A and B are shown apart, each in its own frame.
Chain A
Amino acid sequence: MSKGFASSYRISLLAAGVFLCLAGVGTRLVFLHVIDRGKLLSYIEQVRRQVIVEHARRGAIYDTHDHLLATNQSMYIIGVDPQVLRPEDQANWPELATLIGIPLPKLEKVLTTKFRLTAPTNTLRASPEAPSVGLVFNLTPNAKSAAPTVEPESDDREEDEPSDGRPIRWAKLREDVDETTYDRIVALGIKGVYGNRIFRRVYPHNSLAAHLVGYVNKGGVAAAGVESYADFYLRGQDGWREGERDGLRRELAQFRTRQVDPVDGFNVILSTDIIIQHMVEEELEALAKKFNPAKATIIVTDARTGFILALANYPSFNLNEYNTAPLAVQRNLAITDQLDPGSTFKIVPASGALNEGLVGPGTRFDCSIDSIEYRGAMRRFMPDDHPYDHRLTVSEIISRSSNVGAAQLGMVLGETRLHDYARAFGFGEKSGFPFGGEISGLLNPVSKWSGIDITRIPAGYSISATPLQIHYAMGTIASGGLLLRPQIIKKIRDASGEVVYNFDTVSRRRVITEVTAKSVARMLQGVVRPGGTAVEAAIPGYEVAGKTGTAQKLIDGRYSDKHHVGSFVGFFPASRPEIVISVIVDDAKVPGGNAYGRIVGAPSFKRIGEQLIQYLDIKPPYEAGSNLLAMKGGRR
């Protein structure tokens, strides 16, 4: 047998060497994998292991026709590290100032301030003559000397560092830079200027439906409106993944160990229609311009379902600039403020008396009297504006809005039943509107009524209600006697478009019979006919039913003759109600007159109604025609 390629001595030596090396390597491996395993693993865990949170995308809010009302948008917070600025980039500073929209001197001040200012008291205490501590040096390349400058606004700076002259490594320049602008800023190539991407909630329609949509604040907290109420559906669930990162803190995708995907938030579809909302807000704007009211509310709902088609308040605010709007403006007045309903409340005693069969539409009352004996005592009425030459029927009491007549209807009904009907119509209790801040209004129990309350309450005084309560009380007549729950969310959809939940009509209770409701609706038509209190609300060719309200405001404990809440609440077509509209104007300034509901509310009702007829294709009930034809086209 051959000796092979080497002598046995050399072979043995080589083999021994190789095995020694292998033994060495093996020993080291035992140390690494067995003996020092725990220590090394904890070190690795500390240095390389990371858990990355994947934020869920917040769901969007749409109107009933899938118009986007709220969505997410990425923006950049632009900042600068003044320590790494280069002199050759200074030529681009003016363009940077233009792009981020701040004056050049202010930008220069931020870019050239390289150290944090020490608090003056500390400086003085330490050494009044100390040249460097406590001063901010201008270290721009062109600066000949270290001239002290003014410290930029403190809120633009890191807040967690002590003010001891430490170098500034981050100064915020602007926090809402869009992507296109950011790309142009990056293209300038200024070293040290960079941005961090953030996601913000944006509202494409700005102030449209502001009080309904609500907003998410910069801290990511849903603060108002649907954003807050439907936060459970909208927010989604964050995901996370566990893995490792390299020395540059980049994720090593191959070392992902566990991963939980984020679940995006559901999309919320409202019953609101942006076109109707726009009509309403435009009308509010016109009202504000004409009457300069303290506040005003317009509500439009579907008479059959109670779903809100539009709700707007004056004053309002831009959702994208919510932080500049005072809190008083952000309140949804329709549910947070109460007022005397005035004559709009007269539907309650009239409906109650009719429903109980105590009176009929033709039952007459003497409304020329100024007082009457009731339960053994004389009760003085609230006077009517005009004397009547004949005894008024119940229909006329409604159409002419007689306080004396309404009080007598209340007396026929009695305190207890009047209270019960008022409560049944939704006064004195929350409507169930899903937003926070709703108040229940004021409806005292009968035991707390004073002697004259039986003459005041039927006329809508000594009682307070929110605009939404007044609206849904009228909606009870329109819906055939059912008090419906105000609803704003129509359905919930997941990210793929599948409907997760459908909201349906919710009836809170039956208040009056359908027959009574139809009877009251017929009586309310008299309000807009000649002789009624609001012919201004009549829409030619359509049966409009409604009620004016003019309540004196309680100022310093007395009812004022100069300050009124004027309103018109109604629906149409009266025999087949489709739409309920409320216009409530608080403290309107009417030149040379009072802010009656007829003047401030009825015309707005008519204008909105006419637009809705076209937009929603509401047909007059007594014409059999089924096809709509614009005879003169849409131009004028």
Chain B
Amino acid sequence: MNDKTSHAFVNQLVVFALVVFCFSGSVGLGTVWMRHQISLTANATKTWESKLTEVERQINETHAAIERAQDPAILKLLNDQWRLGLVAPSPQQTSYIDEDPVMRLAAKHNQGLFSDSPVDTSISFKVALRR
């Protein structure tokens, strides 16, 4: 093997080694970058999952709080405290009818409006008397 051939081989070897280093370095760096991205994505997903769970938990707890506030005993207490006087109608206060209740109530409300029954038509005016 002469010098020229040996130098050429060494040069090629060095170039090849450099190319291999660069390539494997790039692959390595790429892998690290990719794994870092995977890690970021996985952790972000984990965070979102935990947030989702947290929100679901808060929704459930809000439901529980609403239910507590709607407890019949609490509502009755507030009815008394605020003196609302709300009570359910008794059977004696209830009447069962065959017709449409809206029409019946309307008829009851408008009774006399269109002279379908006698109405008081007398009108009085205050008259200022002159002296």
- On whether the two chains bind one another, the answer is yes
Please, what's the 1-or-0 string for A598-632, where 1 marks a CB less than 8 Å from any CB in chain B? 00000000000011011100011001111111111
Complex Cα gap A4–B67 (Å): 86
Q: Using Cβ atoms and an 8 Å threshold, which residues of chain B touch A202?
A: 64
Q: How far is the CA of A367 from the CA of B10 in the complex (A)?
A: 131
Contacts of A60 in B (CB 8 A): 60
B118 lies within 8 A of chain A by Cβ: no
Q: Is the CB of A254 within 8 A of B38?
A: yes
Enumerate A63-89 residues with CB–CB distance to B below 8 Å. 67-68, 71-74
The reply to whether B95 and A540 form a contact with Cβ atoms under 8 Å apart is no
Check B99 against A8 for contact (C-beta < 8 Å). Answer: no
Which of chain B's residues have a CB closer than 8 A to the CB of A71? 60, 63-64, 67
Q: Are A206 and B91 in contact (CB under 8 A)?
A: no
A576 to chain B, nearest CB (A): 15
Inter-chain contact B10/A635, CB cutoff 8 Å: no
Contact B8 A635, beta carbon cutoff 8 Å: no
Task: Number of A interface residues at 8 Å Cβ cutoff, please give it.
Answer: 56
Closest chain-B Cβ to A479's Cβ sits at a distance in Å of 24
Rounded to whole angstroms, the CA-CA distance of A68 and B67 in the bound complex is 6
**Alpha-carbon distance between A369 and B109 when the two chains are bound, in angstroms:** 65
- Flag if B61 contacts A256 (CB, 8 Å): no
Could you give, for residues 159-200 of chain A, a 1 whenever the CB lies within 8 Å of some chain B CB and a 0 otherwise? 000000000000000000001000000000000000000000
A11-B14 CB under 8 A given contacts A4-B7, A542-B91: yes
Kindly report which residue of chain A lies nearest to residue B88, judged by CB atoms.
A614
Q: Are B99 and A632 in contact (CB under 8 A)?
A: no
Q: Chain B residues near A626 (CB, 8 Å)?
A: 96, 98
Question: How would residues 516 to 543 of chain A score, 1 for a CB under 8 Å from any chain B CB and 0 otherwise?
Answer: 0000000000000000000000011110
In the complex, which residues of chain B have a beta carbon less than 8 angstroms from the beta carbon of A4?
Answer: 7, 10-11, 14
Q: Which residues of B contact A636 (CB under 8 A)?
A: 85, 87, 93
- Whether, in the assembled complex, A551 has its beta carbon less than 8 Å from a beta carbon of chain B, the answer is no
Are B64 and A73 neighbours in the complex by a CB distance under 8 Å?
Answer: yes
Is the CB–CB distance between A68 and B63 below 8 Å?
yes
> Are B14 and A628 closer than 8 Å at their CB atoms?
no
B81 within 8 A of A: no
Chain B residue numbers with a CB within 8 Å of A274 are 71-72
- Is A337 in contact with chain B by the CB < 8 A criterion? no
CA distance in complex: A208, B88 (Å)? 20
Most buried by A among B11, B39, B94, B99: B94
**A74 and B57 in contact, given A627-B101, A631-B95 (Cβ under 8 angstroms):** yes
C-alpha spacing A542/B90, complex, angstroms: 13
**Interchain nearest-CB distance for B127 vs A (Å):** 42
Do the beta carbons of A254 and B39 come within 8 Å of each other?
yes
Q: Which of B48-77 contact A (CB under 8 A)?
A: 57, 60-61, 63-65, 67-68, 70-73
Q: Is B6 in the interface zone, CB < 8 Å from A? A: yes
Contact A15 B43 (CB under 8 A): no
Residue in chain A with minimal CB distance to B99: A627
User: A129–B71 Cα gap in the complex (Å)?
Assistant: 62
Q: Is residue B42 contacting chain A, with contact meaning CB distance below 8 A?
A: yes
Would you call A204 and B71 a contact (CB within 8 A)?
Answer: yes
Q: Is the CB of B96 within 8 A of A620?
A: yes
**What is the CA–CA distance of A633 and B85 in the complex, to the nearest angstrom?**
12
Contacts of A541 in B (CB 8 A): 91
B42, A256: Cβ atoms closer than 8 Å:
yes
From known contacts A252-B39, A253-B46, A635-B87, infer whether A630 and B71 are also in contact, taking CB-CB under 8 Å: no
Which B residues are in CB contact (< 8 Å) with A49? none
Residue contact A67 to B70, C-beta cutoff 8 Å:
yes
The 8 Å CB contact of B72, one of A74, A278, A634, A635, is A278
Contact of B10 among A8, A615, A625 (CB under 8 A): A8
User: B67 is contacted by which of A204, A252, A625 (Cβ under 8 Å)?
Assistant: A204
Are A15 and B17 closer than 8 Å at their CB atoms?
A: yes
Q: Given A12-B10, A254-B39, A627-B99, do A208 and B73 touch, yes or no (CB 8 Å)?
A: yes
Any chain B CB within 8 A of the CB of A205? yes
Is A18 in contact with chain B by the CB < 8 A criterion? Answer: yes
> Closest residue of chain B to A274, judged by CB?
B72
Does B119 belong to the interface (CB within 8 Å)?
no
B31 within 8 A of A: no
* Chain B residue at minimal CB-CB distance from A633: B89
Residue of A nearest to B36 (CB): A254
Task: Check if B17 sits within 8 Å of A631, measured CB to CB.
Answer: no
Closest chain A CB from B7 CB (angstroms) = 6
Report if B13 contacts A (CB, 8 A): yes
Nearest residue, chain A, Cβ from B44: A253
Q: In the complex, which of the residues B10, B38, B73, B88 contacts A15, with contact meaning CB atoms closer than 8 Å? A: B10
B98 touches A624 (CB 8 A): yes
Cα A73 to Cα B105 in complex, Å, equals 48
- Whether B85 pairs with A1 at a CB distance below 8 angstroms is no
Residues A1-20 near B (CB distance < 8 A): 1-4, 8, 11-12, 14-15, 18
Closest to B43 in A: A253
Q: Name which residue of chain A comes closest to B75, CB basis.
A: A278
> What is the chain B residue whose CB lies nearest that of A636?
B87
Are A630 and B94 in contact, CB atoms less than 8 angstroms apart?
Answer: yes
Q: Is A275 an interface residue (CB 8 A)?
A: yes
CB of A309, distance to nearest CB on chain B (Å): 14
Are B98 and A625 interface neighbours, CB within 8 A?
yes
Query: What mask results when residues 95 to 108 of chain B are scored 1 for a CB within 8 Å of chain A, else 0?
Result: 11111110011000
B93 touches A632 (CB 8 A): yes
Query: Roughly how many angstroms separate A74 CA and B56 CA in the complex, as a whole number?
Result: 12
Are B13 and A627 closer than 8 Å at their CB atoms?
no
Complex CA–CA separation, A40 to B45 (angstroms) = 30
Return 18 A-B CB contacts under 8 Å, by A number. Answer: A1-B4, A11-B7, A11-B10, A11-B14, A14-B14, A60-B60, A71-B67, A72-B60, A206-B73, A208-B72, A274-B72, A614-B88, A614-B89, A625-B95, A627-B96, A627-B101, A631-B93, A636-B87
The 7 closest A-B pairs by CB, nearest first: A625-B96, A253-B42, A278-B72, A204-B67, A254-B42, A68-B67, A254-B39
Give me 15 other A-B pairs in contact (C-beta within 8 A), A1-B7, A8-B3, A252-B39 excluded.
A4-B10, A12-B10, A71-B64, A72-B60, A73-B60, A73-B61, A179-B61, A204-B71, A254-B39, A614-B89, A623-B96, A629-B97, A634-B87, A635-B86, A636-B87
